[in-house]
Chain A
Amino acid sequence: MKTIIKIQFLILAAVLMISNSCTKDFTSMNTNPDSPTVVPATNVFLKATTSVIGTLYGERLDIYYAGSYAGQTAAIGLGDYEYRVDINNSMWRSMYTAMTYFVDAARLAQSEGNTNLYAAAMTMKAFAAQQTTDIWGRVPYSEAFRMSEGIIYPKYDTQQEIYTAILKELKDAADMFNNGTGALGAGDWMYKGNIVKWKKFCNSVRLRVAMRMSNVDEATAKSVVAEILNNPSTYPVITENADNAYFWWPGVSPDQEPWFQRMGALDGKKKDQYRTNAVMVNALKDNNDPRLPVYVDKNKYGNYNGYRFYYGQTRDTLNNGNNVSFIADRFGNDPKGFSPLLNAAEVNFFIAEARQRSFVAGDAKEAYEAGITQSMLENSIGSSAIAAYLAQPEIAWNGGTTPNIKKIALQNWLAIFKQSVEAWSESRRTDVPLMTSVSENYAQKHNRPPFRMAYADEEKSLNTHFPVEVTESDIFWGTQVWWDTRKGIQ
């Protein structure tokens, strides 16, 4: 009996030890020693920046997809508008992940009392949001990024609602920059802490948003454009290449420019399937554009020739690997190259258009020529070549038969090569350049490139608020986005 009592005592002791003393360090044990819970905002900001750039200017979206839809690049071989469920899902995820990171960077900046960094994060989020809605149309925004409030199925806003929200965010950010405090820190790789440049970028994005919607809500667009352009000291914009919102890659492996990562050929032997599009090559050739050799390589036979999309394209020998020109080195073969978010040329063209459409007073011609000049200078074109180019009838303001407004649109489209989503959006807004011929599989049913990218398949099962009224036909067509006012197209 004594034995049993002793044993019972031992077991009781064991139970007590296990249930009490041994669990008291469980909380610290269950804390991840390698992953912090609070970090500096600037380092989150950098992660967010590289995320959004990696997607928008990564090869898949920038060259294969949006680049093809914009008529600037092409993937030869099948020459299709590739639709893949998994990649489509990942594009969607990437854009929302990047915006999530910016929201978090802003939250951390706020807790650090760093209003400049907060404004920069909000600017980048708004920039990414515009690109996102321009790609898909209606997307969740006002209820997005709010799971901590219990929102697990964010509703889809109309594009108009999103644009209204973005415009407000950008104005708030601009005002915040004007009274801002705090350094942007090591995470501002793009402008290296230069608040003035950030302010210009913020206002330029806002100008871009306003101009994009100017055909459907001219009143709002006009007032925003006027507010910016009539108050250059409060709302300065990017008009010189020195202020370009370009993310220049360090060039040190592994942080090298994404197009180079994909198709770099330092030995001079380019061999990728990613090439140039005939629409762009022809637009450059038509006007003896000095940027042609900067954008496009000669093919094997010494000519400039882009890939042609049309029914029968895969049987066309001009479309084969030897005939289609590669993308030239400045854009595709420089490890220290750039990812362009926005440039001075584009802003100048927006100003030109705003003046031409009398949103603000001023000389449209001057802004138009400034835009061309900035684009040429950026591509190392000398002043005599610029002058010669400007003198051509179809380029010169009021020259030739092309209306000035279409000249602005074409020049803008040419100046934003490598900003493929932007180029695609502008071509959808302006119908310039006119692209009536599309990829073989769709050529018999459609007379314009894709209107939008298909929604992420996973969104349909994960978000009960997925709008059922959205029409998607032949994957890429169906409903035109809100600001796309083109008529009679399919």
Chain B
Amino acid sequence: MKQKLLFVLLAMFFAGTLFGQTRQLTGKVTSAADNQPIPGATVMIKGTQTGVTTGTDGKFILSLKTPGGTLEVSSVGFVKLDIPITASNNYNISLVADVKNIDEVVVTALGITRAKKTLGYAVQDINSTELVEAKDNNIVNTLSGKIAGVQVTSGGSTVGASSRIVIRGNKSFAGNEPLFVIDGTPIFNNTTNLDGGGGIDWGNTASDIDPNNIESMTVLKGANAAALYGSRATNGVILITTKKGKDSRKLGVDFTTSMTFDKVAYLPKFQNEYGGGWNGEEYIWKRDHPEMTYQDYSKTYGYNWVDGGGGGVNDSWPINWGPRLDAGLMLDQWSTGPNSPWISRPNNYKDFFQTGVNSENSLAVSANGEKATGRLAFTNLNTKGIIDYTDQAQQTLNGSFTLRPTDRLTAVTNITYLKKGSNNIPNNGYSGIGVDYAWMQRDFDVNYAKQLFKDKGNSGYIFPDGDNPYYNLRNLTGFNRDRVFGNSSVDYKITNWLSVMGRVGIDFYNEYRKDITQSGTQGNISRKRGGQFNQTQFYFNETNADLMLKFDKTFGDIRIDGLLGANYRNVLAKSMYMAASDLTVPDLYTIGNVKGNPSVSMSTNEKETNSIFFAANGSYKNFLFLGVTARNDWSSTLPAENRSYFYPSVSLGFDATEAFKIKSNILSYAKLRGSWAKVGGDASAYQLARTYSVGTFNSISTFSPGLTYPPANLKPQITTSFEFGGDLRFFKDRLSLDITYYDQTTVNQILSVATSLTTGYSAMKLNAGEIENSGLELMLNVKAIENKSGFSWDLGLNWGKNKNMVNALYGGLESYRISGGFGGATTVGIPGQPWGIIWGLPFVRNDAGKIVVGSDGIPLTTNVGKNLGNVTPDWTGGIRSVLRYKNLYMSLLLDGRKGGKFFSCTAWHAYPTGTYAITTANNVRETGLIVDGVKDDGVKNADGVYVGGTPNDIRVSAQDYYGGAWMWNNHEYSILDGTYIKLRELVLSYDIPLKKLPWCQKLTISVFGRNLAILYRDKSTRDLGIDPEVGLGGGDSGVGFENFQIPTTRSLGFKLALSF
């Protein structure tokens, strides 16, 4: 590897010896409005074919062979300017914005800056203000609702939770995350892939990026835009450009400080009418023992606490089928003692949570000189979670340095070092606090539990074999991560149209995770164990080295620019795990203290790709733009014969207003674009042979043969896509509309296709399957009001609809399992259906679709699963409104999603636990209910389907229906709809006038809110009080599952930003 790096560097310096000799004009093109450099501006010698474009710093070098003449300087969005050539060799040129045609410049693949109008594919960019104004600790969350066709799903409200981002739908059964690229170098976004059961959400490592250092972010949505990045870009690319310290100030200091408060806002709808116990509902009392008073009945049959272990009446099982609360009953209870009032405690869940606090301080220093520019920034972020004893902290040091020792040579280094850690992250899902409360009596006294923990630790809890939740929180699960990412590049201008660039980038981190269980849990006391712990060390390293030759030349009306390059990439991941299931000295969590045998394991994973690539863009008369890319990869993960694969792309853009010289007050700009691309992808490492996994039993090694059948002739997977669209602007750009249609098909997916274990294997690794995504994206921007008094109102809408289809799987395979899900509900891919079918047990229904009940009046159950809905939403979108008046600024963001089903484990438990409001609705506990269905008359057709049936008239108690065992064999009633509209962000800021503080350039104070309201959600989620957005983890396995979500929060923040 060292040799290869050396080669890249050597080649760079060889290239440095090649340069020509003529009179050199140098200069810099800046924007008159803000003195910012204008990259990509054209500087021509008028009347000749000679010209150059400016670099990212706005500078240019132009060879002049004839004396005199005029420089013609132009750039998209600016008024063209002519400047006579004098004796001076240096020209500083300032361009005035052309209000009629304001066009942005965007960063495209490999960090190349281009005018947006020249692109033949859709990109969408987002500026730093939009990312930081309503800050979230996870940068992925701040994209929600801002980019058409992008679906962001927050992993929840635990500290450091991951977020899932998918661009243009799910394309694969093996990961759908986009690639994150910072300043041209890819970084890891390792994401916690929780399944439907939940667990610890360690976050996604893209959240390490400090938004304070981001200058801009560009989303390359399709394979077309991203083809140059190869396989990893199949799911789109998020390009991040960091701040470089380039501005007009000689010395710049920026300081921001903010505090954000998270308050639990969206709580489950628990009932507060009936408390713990069994057989306590009024209907059962009146049915079985009408001769008794409700007081006597309740104490005899409903609930009475003696020891929490069955010594009393129904006191050993945390379930809410007990007597009515607040009805004057006096029962023996855990927290209040014998014959104490049986009362509701409606806030016992809410009171478990505290206000989460995030405090952030960020300081940046920048300097801008002739030969050097730099910026150094430090951010300190501390988070206290909404659950007691949970936290997270991150310190980020970011530096960016640009050296320009000569006009030809530019060297840039961007580097970020960060420390991130948590002392404790709470459990999510089926082992988290949510399930503790679903399986908890509604009369539970949380404040008593808290006090008890303070006084007596883990003893005396309501159930003697249960652990006090406050004690559980001291079973810590924490991590520490040290990470460095960045790159260094050297760019040398060989001639005025040719330059060479070498760049080496790394992303490297080391992480320790530790999970401890104290000796005082009831399980450990029973088994006399001194506690447990496990520790995992992760090491990740990705190295990228690029060498690129860049050219840009104009021939008359035709301008051609592009690059030819090579990339070397190595990814190495290692881990080590050690665990003790018992400890000699209690609560001493070090491996030498293990009692018995430690469990240990280690793993290594390394892969490498080498690539060459080519990209060229030609423009004709500034209205026709053609782009071509080609790339060939060699991957270490594929068999030798398939190791090399090639893929091209082509795009075309056409500016009709420029071409036909349309000058209209109605149509101010019209561009059409279309593109086609193919992208190849490789496998993960070590897939080609069957190997044994290593374990131990009583210090004897055990080997288990791998259960994945190795592939015979694995080929790269191929994604083919096309898109076309248009950018139309009207009324002097007051209204702009951007539409894109795309279609993307992935074939030869490298999959582990599940097989029947009776074959001796659980899966075959092979090329299988075809998934197609097509969709429509809309972006509409309206400058609704633009007033000379300084009042303006901008509205932006984005909307994306993605249609997804699994076209084929493998052979006769009827389904592909995406996730093992939870409780028997899984997600699968089925040919002819969209990605992500929820598969589970349905109601038994007759031929007319009516639920069939048994002779006991309770729904029948089946063990034959069925398609219960699809996880893919119909559309996603957002609306952003920005109001400005002089120094005042207000922005508001609504975002939403239509459809997308999910299996809710909360709903699944809402029935049997009797904890939720739906189990008391319509007075069912006073009157009982008759299930809407037909009776099992035993009449079935040839397919075994019930036919007809007499209408059900059997009245059952709420407990028999909702609390019956039947619902564990039914997933259908727990399928909920993911529709929502949220008030995502609201920002109010004020720039304080600074006439009296000349040393200070800008002082802004702002107030912001996030997730302020769920404006709309489906009845199915509203009835249960579930936030329909929240997913589990950030991977594919949690998609389509909700599992006792920790209540999501409403955040309110205050921020002060100072620049001088």
Contact = CB atoms under 8 A, between A and B. Distances in A.
A101 interface: yes
Interface string A143-156: 01111100111100
A252 interface: yes
A393 interface: no
B313 to A, nearest CB: 9
B863 A35 contact: no
Contact of A315 (B279, B596, B694, B706): B279
Given A18-B634, A29-B608, A84-B824, A10 B14 contact: yes
Interface string A91-120: 011001100110110000000000000000
Interface residues of B, number: 114
B694 A35 contact: yes
B310 A35 contact: no
Nearest to A86: B824
B547, B610, B693, B705 interface centre (most CB from chain A within 10 Å): B705
A140 B756 contact: yes
A7 B499 CA distance: 11
Contacts of A15: 566, 612
A266 B15 contact: no
Contact of B564 (A11, A26, A92): A11
Contact of B760 (A32, A103, A269, A323): A103
B760 A39 contact: no
A18 B566 contact: yes
A487 interface: no
A441 B966 contact: yes
B75 to A, nearest CB: 28
B577 to A, nearest CB: 12
A269 B840 CA distance: 39
Contacts of A406: none
A144 B759 contact: yes
Interface stretch (B362-370, B374-382, B597-605): B597-605
A9 to B, nearest CB: 10
A30 interface: yes
A37 B865 contact: no
Nearest to A186: B700
A265 interface: yes
A461 B606 CA distance: 35
A309 B942 CA distance: 34
A349 B599 CA distance: 42
Interface string A442-479: 00110000000011011111111000000010010000
B11 A14 contact: yes
A218 interface: no
A323 B820 CA distance: 38
B691 A269 contact: no
B692 A39 contact: yes
Contacts of A250: 698
Interface in A10-30: 10-11, 13-15, 17-19, 22-23, 26-27, 29-30
A32 B691 contact: yes
Contact of B18 (A6, A148, A323): A6
A477 to B, nearest CB: 11
B700 A43 contact: yes
Given A154-B759, A189-B698, A10 B608 contact: no
Contact of A85 (B311, B498, B694, B841): B841
B611 interface: yes
Contacts of B568: 18, 22
A277 B971 CA distance: 30
A321 B310 contact: yes
A46 interface: yes
Contacts of A51: 704
Contacts of B314: 320
A186 B820 CA distance: 35
B764 interface: yes
Contacts of B602: 34
A271 B856 contact: no
A310 to B, nearest CB: 14
A31 interface: yes
B105 to A, nearest CB: 28
Contacts of B11: 10, 13-14
A322 interface: yes
B814 interface: yes
Interface in B627-657: 634-637, 640, 643-644
Nearest to B856: A444
A151 B697 contact: no
A151 B465 contact: no
B823 A84 contact: yes
A267 B756 contact: no
Contacts of A366: none
Interface residues on chain A, size class: 35 or more
A43 to B, nearest CB: 5
Contacts of A153: 756, 759, 812
B464 A43 contact: no
A300 B526 CA distance: 18
Contacts of B692: 35-37, 39, 44
B610 A22 contact: yes
Which of B310, B317, B606, B817 has the most chain A CB atoms closer than 10 A to its own CB? B310
B758 A144 contact: yes
A33 interface: yes
A384 interface: no
B861 interface: yes
B18 A93 contact: no
Contacts of A66: none
B760 A147 contact: yes
Interface stretch (A74-82, A197-205, A280-288): A74-82
A47 interface: yes
Interface string B843-887: 000000000001110000111110000000000000000000000
Nearest to A46: B702
Contact of B581 (A6, A26, A254, A444): A254
B4 interface: yes
B701 A43 contact: yes
B603 A463 contact: no
B686 A32 contact: yes
Contacts of B640: 26-27
A56 interface: no
Given A26-B643, A145-B760, A267-B528, A462 B823 contact: no
Interface in A235-260: 250, 252-255, 260
Nearest to B564: A11
Contacts of A145: 758-760
Given A85-B863, A100-B705, A189-B698, A151 B759 contact: yes
A154 B607 contact: no
A35 B702 CA distance: 12
A335 B856 CA distance: 44
B607 A457 contact: no
A457 B820 CA distance: 13
Contacts of A265: 526-527
Given A18-B568, A83-B863, 7 more contacts: A19-B644, A96-B758, A100-B761, A101-B705, A269-B464, A322-B310, A323-B310
21 contacts: A7-B18, A14-B7, A22-B4, A23-B610, A29-B608, A30-B688, A33-B604, A36-B691, A43-B702, A51-B704, A85-B865, A152-B811, A187-B702, A253-B529, A253-B581, A264-B526, A441-B964, A457-B824, A457-B864, A458-B817, A475-B969
Q: Which 4 A-B pairs have the closest CB atoms?
A: A321-B310, A85-B824, A35-B691, A253-B596
